[in-house]
Amino acid sequence: MVRGRSDGEETKRRITDKAKQLFIRKGFGAVSMNEVCEAAEVSKGSLYHHFMSKDELFLQVLEEDSEQWSQEWERLRVEAGGVEDQFYALAEHYANDFQNPLLTAQEEYSRSRLITDEVLERLLRIADSNSQACRSVLREGIEKGELANGDLDRLVILVSSMMEGLGKLIYMPDFGKDQDKIRPYYRDAVKLLLEGIRAKRN
């Protein structure tokens, strides 16, 4: 017999879902635990039973969001097929996520808090989950001989930094949050990566 979620699991899920909506709308600093209690319709005792602090709650929200991103990428990667198509699918996946308001909240959190070693480790794991998407494509391309052999760790840093760096286009006046304007730049970045920028010589 398959068991459903316990009341405790359901309560925790409701808390994280409502907290995510608040963090998206208001950022990290402007959200209070009282607001989370009201939105999730739980007592303070219940909230603090599941999450000892707002930091803990926020990190849980970030980790779940990152896990969803990774799961969606795995689905897209399988559908894409070949290595080149996987690169373009990955670019599309990054482009679709570039205006994720939780990223802005995460930047605010990182700037405004004294980051402990434990918190830093969790934030790094979140960042690493995205770079693993690049790693999987690069490794497959190298193993199949479709990409030049090289230092995989170094290539992961370069490619993931390129993808993440394009997210800064959101701060440029000509782009803002217009996804249709942003998306071609991700595809052009992949084309540049695969073909190079040096002029072809006869």
The model's pLDDT over 158-196, given as tens digits with 9 standing for 90+, comes to 999 999 888 777 777 776 667 778 889 999 999 999 988
CATH no. of 54-197: 1.10.357.10
Please answer whether residues 23 and 64 qualify as being in contact, where contact means their C-beta atoms are separated by less than 8 angstroms.
no
pLDDT at 201 over 80: no
Q: Which two tokens stand for residue 84?
A: 């080149």
Instruction: Look at 2 and 38; give whichever has higher pLDDT.
Output: 38
pLDDT value of residue 101:
84
Fold exhibited by the domain 1-52: Arc Repressor Mutant, subunit A (1.10.10)
Question: Please, which pLDDT band fits residue 10 given cuts at 50, 70 and 90?
Answer: very high
**4 or 135, which is more confident:** 135
- The set of residues, in sequence order, having a beta carbon less than 8 Å from that of 71 and lying 6+ positions away, is none
Domain with CATH 1.10.357.10 in the chain: 54-197
What residues have CB less than 8 Å from 48, skipping those under 6 apart? 33
Q: What integer pLDDT is reported at residue 202 of this predicted model? A: 61
Whole-Å CA distances, 104 to 141, 187, 199 = 32, 23, 38
CA geometry: angle at 24 spanning 19 and 29, to 5°?
75
- Residue 27: per-residue pLDDT: 93
Percent pLDDT > 70 in the chain is 94
Give the integer Cα–Cα distance in Å for 188 and 57.
Answer: 37
pLDDT band at 1 (very low <50, low <70, confident <90, very high): very low
Residue range 19-32: average pLDDT?
A: 95
pLDDT tier at 16, thresholds 50, 70, 90: very high
Q: Mean pLDDT over all residues of the chain?
A: 89
Q: Is the pLDDT of residue 92 over 50?
A: yes
Q: Give CA–CA dist 142/130, Å, rounded.
A: 19
pLDDT tens for 123-170 read 999 888 889 999 999 999 999 999 999 999 999 999 999 998 887 777
**pLDDT at position 176:** 62
* Measured CA distances, 182 to 86, 171, 179, 199 (Å): 19, 11, 5, 25
The alpha carbon dihedral of 70, 123, 158, 154 has a sign of negative
Q: How confident is the model at residue 3 (pLDDT cuts 50, 70, 90)?
A: very low
Q: Is residue 2 over pLDDT 90?
A: no
Residues of the chain with CATH 1.10.10.60: 1-52
C-beta atoms surrounding 84 within 10 Å = 16
**Structure-token match 């979620």, residue found:** 5
